[in-house]
Amino acid sequence: MGNMYSELMEPGKMGPWELPNRIVMAPMGSLNSDPNGYVTDRTLKFYEDMAKGGMGLLIVECTYMDNEWSKGEDNLMGLARNEQITGMARLATTIKDWGCKAVIQLCHIGHQLALADHMVSLGPSTMTELQGGVMPFPIRGMTIPEIKKCINDFAMAAWRAKMAGFDGVEIHGAIGHLINMFCSPFYNHRNDEYGGSPENRVRFFKEIIEKIRKKCGKQFPIIARVCADEMDTDEWLTLEEGIEQAKIIEKTGVVALHVVAGSNGNVKTINFQYDKRGDFVYAAKAFKEAGIKLPIIVDGGLSTPDIACEVLKNGYADFIGLGRPMLADPDWAVKLREDRPEDIRPCIRCCMGCVGTIEGFDAAIGLRCSVNPVCNLRGIREVRPIKKKKKVCVIGGGPGGMEAALLLKERGHDAVLYEKGELGGTMHKAAFDPALKGDINILIHYYQTQIEKQKIPVIREEAEAGKILGGGYDAVIVATGAETVPCRVKGSEGNPHVYVLADYARRAEEIKESLGNTVLVVGGCFMNLEIALSIARTGRKVIISSRRGEKGNLMELGNDNSSPGQQRLKILLDERDVEFITEHNIVEITKTGAVLKDMRDKEEDVRVEVPCDDIIICRGYTGRPKIYKELLGKIPEVYLAGDAAMQIRCNEKRTIGDAIHDGWVIANRI
């Protein structure tokens, strides 16, 4: 191992454990269990793939601990019954056999129980919360007997984990779950021994740990996952109180603090691509400066070795927690150990597979990853041996084309890649603002590096059907992306103040400098909202108009984004005073702005004029490129991948993840 990232690979001590490096896999729900919370073969395969990755400590996902209130989603794992121990023992063995410590996270979901279609959930105090700003979820305050039962249920679940052979447990006291609700002044309005002061608010957490130590013995290691700061107003948990509570937890005998931050109000509990990478590090640093001596694990967007290593170098934390980066590349630590960090497939913090959109929220299809097509699909997506070596032409050097070319080469085919521009394709447009979308540039660099390392020939010209037909190819993958539908709104032709979204994204930094004081962004898809935010950050007035948003429901805008992405965008847009005009369609562009038609009035032709200096508009994309039609039936195998496979309708546009998965699946089929 070279010296560049040596701090990450140094051995570390946590309680009784001598860990081989400073890398911890943070817990993420896989939803691989059966409906009754039992471990399945899918569970074992997923965690075996993770454990092979060489991290020092693996924390298994959020696991419920009673049969009534703690389970937040279908197919979560449980430790609420003794008969669940057997499967858990197989899981612990699977992980430990690969040389890393196995810890399981125990959790009561609290108010997020409502996400599992329960109408009422438990909390410290009775109240109604608006989740996502629109949906009221009632919370019932717990009685003292219910609190005592919950404490005992945690202890029994920890005992079952110990019986199953886990090396320790992590108690989840963060990101809006029940323990965090007790710790937070926003949710905890009690005036008994469990509320009213920092010491009382953290008492529930403290008593859970004390009960586990009494039940499992003082030698059984416990990690406390704590919320350091809800990063909101003073009515939420502040960093000052977070430190005060952490000092109380430190005295309980836990072996480490797993530090995170954020609240459900600001959706900072998930570090999204619009957020600063490592935005919980300040809290870990503050814990250190406050005199906390316990080892600290910190996570939250520490997705590349450089930023993770810097945290350790500066002494802000002792261990680095990696969640989604492990989904993108389970061999993250192995590749560091082998001194090839350039081969780490980077997480782009999109949350499109690990969380999903509102419609597919809670990863309804199970845990996936946009940039890793085989994530959580062992036994389904296995690299197939080839029966016959083929000469394959991949047209288009975007994410789908590059992924296809790499897998074709890995499997033993002869692959050639056509790309008339720069490798990366539409990802360059998606990365239009490095401050908001910089993760995509990291992915572009990864693919460019891999294409070069694998010596895949790149023909730097536009593919023409005649040349392809004369190239002796056995198969062709068309991954050319999609063409933008031109803007045909009255008054747009030749107007220098009207930009089609894709063209704006291609020249964003150049165009942004010339924009006027007020900009109208037409369209409600998430990239429109991203561009609106990018422009609003320059201090300009931005208006978003959309045909979406029935009855003013802004949750219909950007709902093609991941759920946390949509919510973070809405919060960030509100902070910049971006104006929304919903249920309106643009019908004309004038010298002074735009004319919008009110779609709510079916009887009258009601129109409104919106003064603005510049207009950015998205009218959709068209797929099925001409070259596909020219080659179809003339070459034995012709495939479409990525945006090239979309239909003409805007609502069928695809993501980077769709393109990558298409490319892999097609390349594995040939």
Give the pLDDT of residue 651.
Answer: 42
The residues near 535 (Cβ < 8 Å, ≥ 6 apart) are 512, 515, 519, 521, 542
Give the pLDDT of residue 648.
Answer: 36
Least confident of 30-34, 134-138, 264-268, 373-377: 134-138
Are 37 and 62 spatial neighbours (Cβ–Cβ below 8 Å)? no
Phi, psi of 304 (to 5 degrees): -120, 150
The region, left, alpha or beta by phi > 0 then psi within -120 to 50, assigned to residue 494 is: left
Strands (DSSP E) along 284-424, which ranges?
A: 296-298, 319-322, 391-395, 414-418
Give the pLDDT of residue 130.
Answer: 67
Phi, psi of 263 (to 5 degrees): -135, 170
Residues 358 and 272: their CA atoms lie apart, in Å, by: 15
Q: In which band, very low, low, confident or very high, does the pLDDT at 618 lie, cut at 50, 70 and 90?
A: confident
What pLDDT, in 10s, does the model give residues 293-305? 999 999 999 999 9
- Residue 384: CB atoms within 10 A of its CB come to 12
Q: Report the share of the chain in percent with pLDDT over 90.
A: 79
Instruction: Give yes or no for residue 119 having a pLDDT over 80.
Output: no
Give the pLDDT of residue 553.
Answer: 82
Give the pLDDT of residue 650.
Answer: 42
Phi, psi of 282 (to 5 degrees): -60, -35
Instruction: Give yes or no for residue 569 having a pLDDT over 80.
Output: yes
Least confident of 119-133, 298-312, 354-368: 354-368
Q: In which band, very low, low, confident or very high, does the pLDDT at 79 lie, cut at 50, 70 and 90?
A: very high
Residues 108/111/113/118 CA torsion (nearest 10 deg): 140
Q: What is the mean pLDDT of residues 434-451?
A: 96
Instruction: Give yes or no for residue 3 having a pLDDT over 80.
Output: no
Give the pLDDT of residue 73.
Answer: 82
Least confident of 106-110, 285-289, 600-604: 600-604
The residues near 14 (Cβ < 8 Å, ≥ 6 apart) are 57, 221, 255, 256, 295, 318, 319
**Burial classification of residue 359, based on how many CB atoms lie within 10 Å of its CB (0-12 exposed, 13-18 middle, 19 or more buried):** exposed
What pLDDT, in 10s, does the model give residues 208-222? 999 999 999 999 999
What pLDDT, in 10s, does the model give residues 624-660? 688 999 999 999 999 999 887 765 334 456 789 999 9
Give the pLDDT of residue 360.
Answer: 59
Strands (DSSP E) along 465-592, which ranges?
A: 475-478, 483-484, 498-500, 518-522, 541-545, 579-581, 584-589
Give the pLDDT of residue 85.
Answer: 98
For the beta sheet containing 518-522, the strands, ordered from the edge strand earlier in sequence to the opposite edge, are: 498-500, 614-617, 518-522, 541-545, 579-581
Instruction: Give yes or no for residue 562 having a pLDDT over 90.
Output: no
- Average pLDDT of the chain is 92
Residues 444 and 481: their CA atoms lie apart, in Å, by: 16
Rg (C-alpha) for the chain, rounded Å, is: 26
Strands (DSSP E) along 20-134, which ranges?
A: 23-25, 57-64, 77-78, 101-107, 121-123, 127-131
Q: Scan for tokens 């309680």, then name that residue.
A: 15
Least confident of 56-65, 123-132, 344-353: 123-132
- Residue 23: CB atoms within 10 A of its CB come to 28
